[in-house]
Chains A and B, each alone.
Chain A
Amino acid sequence: MDAHGRRTFLQLLAGGSLGALAASQASPVLRALAATTAPVAASAKDDFFVFVHAAGGWDVTLFADPRNEKRGLVDPATTDNTDVRDLRLWVDAPFDGDVKSFQIVQPKGCAIPFGPGIGGLVDHADRICLVNGLAMNTVSHPDGAAYASTGRHLVGGRAPASSVDTMMANELSREQLMPTISLDFPSFYVGDALDRRVVPLRIGQVGTLTRILHRPTFYQTSGDRDAIGKALADEARELAAKADDAEVFEGMALQYEGVRRMLGEKLEEALSPAALKKAYPELDGKAKLHGARALGLSFAAEAMRRNLVRCTSLAFTGFDTHASNYRQQARLQQEMFDLLAAFLQILDRTPHPTRAGEKLADRTHVLVVSDFCRTPQINLAGGRDHYPTGSAVVISPRFKGNFVFGKSDAAQLLPAAARKFQDGTRAIAPPDLLATFVSAFGANPRAYLRDGEVVPELLRA
Chain B
Amino acid sequence: MSAPETKRDARARRTSPLLLLAIAAGAALLASGASSCGARPPELVAPTAAPAIAPRASIAQDSAPKEEPRLVPAEAWLRTYLQLFGGLAPLDAQARLRGADGAQIFDDWATYASAIGLPDHRFDLPRGTQTNATMLATFERLGEALCARAVEHDLQGPKGGTPPGPPPLEARVIFAFEAPSPGTKLERASFEPRFDVLHRTFLGYPASLAPTDRTGRFLSLYQDVVARHAAKDAPKSRFTPEQAGWSAVCEGLIRHPEFQLY
Contacts and interface: CB of A to CB of B under 8 A. Distances in A.
Interface of A: 158-159, 177-179, 186-190, 195-197, 199-203, 208-209, 211-221, 223-225, 227-229, 231-232, 234-236, 238-239, 242-245, 247-249, 251-252, 255-256, 258-259, 262-263
B141 A214 contact: yes
B114 A201 contact: yes
B257 A239 contact: yes
Interface stretch (B5-13, B38-46, B80-88, B103-111): B103-111
Interface string B234-246: 1101110000100
Given A216-B103, A220-B244, A227-B221, A202 B136 contact: no
Contact of B123 (A187, A212, A234, A252): A187
Q: Which 8 A-B pairs have the closest CB atoms?
A: A258-B133, A245-B68, A196-B130, A238-B212, A255-B133, A219-B148, A259-B137, A244-B64
A231 to B, nearest CB: 5
Contacts of B244: 219-220, 224
Contacts of B224: 227
Contact of B235 (A199, A221, A234): A221
A220 B114 contact: no
A210 to B, nearest CB: 10
A197 B135 CA distance: 10
A239 to B, nearest CB: 6
Nearest to A178: B134
Contacts of B238: 218-219
Range, interface on chain B:
35 or more
A184 to B, nearest CB: 10
Given A178-B132, A209-B134, 12 more contacts: A197-B130, A199-B126, A219-B238, A219-B244, A220-B247, A224-B225, A224-B244, A231-B220, A239-B257, A245-B69, A248-B69, A259-B140
A11 to B, nearest CB: 15
Contacts of A158: 124
B115 interface: yes
Contacts of A236: 257
B34 to A, nearest CB: 73
B104 to A, nearest CB: 5
B148 A232 contact: no
B154 interface: no
* Most chain A C-beta atoms within 10 Å of own C-beta, residue among B101, B133, B244, B255: B133
Interface string B214-226: 1001101100110
B129 interface: yes
Nearest to B130: A196
Contacts of A262: 133, 137
Most A CB atoms within 10 A — which of B136, B218, B252?
Answer: B136
Given A189-B124, A232-B255, A216 B104 contact: yes
Interface string B189-211: 00000000000000000000001
B89 to A, nearest CB: 22
A256 B136 contact: yes
A61 B168 CA distance: 73
Contacts of A224: 225, 228-229, 244, 248
B257 A189 contact: no
B152 to A, nearest CB: 9
A218 B244 CA distance: 11
Contacts of B248: 220, 224, 227-228
Given A196-B129, A212-B115, A218-B237, A188 B136 contact: no
Contacts of B67: 245
B68 A202 contact: no
Given A212-B115, A244-B65, A179 B132 contact: yes
B252 A232 contact: yes
Interface string B114-132: 1100001001111011111
B112 interface: yes
B25 interface: no
Contacts of B211: 238-239, 242
Of A213, A215, A219, A242, which is in contact with the most chain B CB atoms at under 10 Å from its CB?
A: A219
B114 A213 contact: no
B261 interface: yes
Contacts of A252: 131, 136, 257, 260-261
Contact of B252 (A199, A231, A247): A231
A225 B221 CA distance: 10
Contact of A258 (B65, B114, B136, B237): B136
Contacts of A220: 144, 148, 225, 237, 239, 244, 247-248
A249 to B, nearest CB: 6
B94 interface: no
B64 to A, nearest CB: 5
Nearest to A251: B131
A220 B141 CA distance: 12
B144 A217 contact: no
B159 to A, nearest CB: 15
B256 interface: yes
Given A218-B238, A219-B144, A219-B244, A200 B228 contact: no
Given A236-B257, A238-B212, A245-B65, A219 B132 contact: no
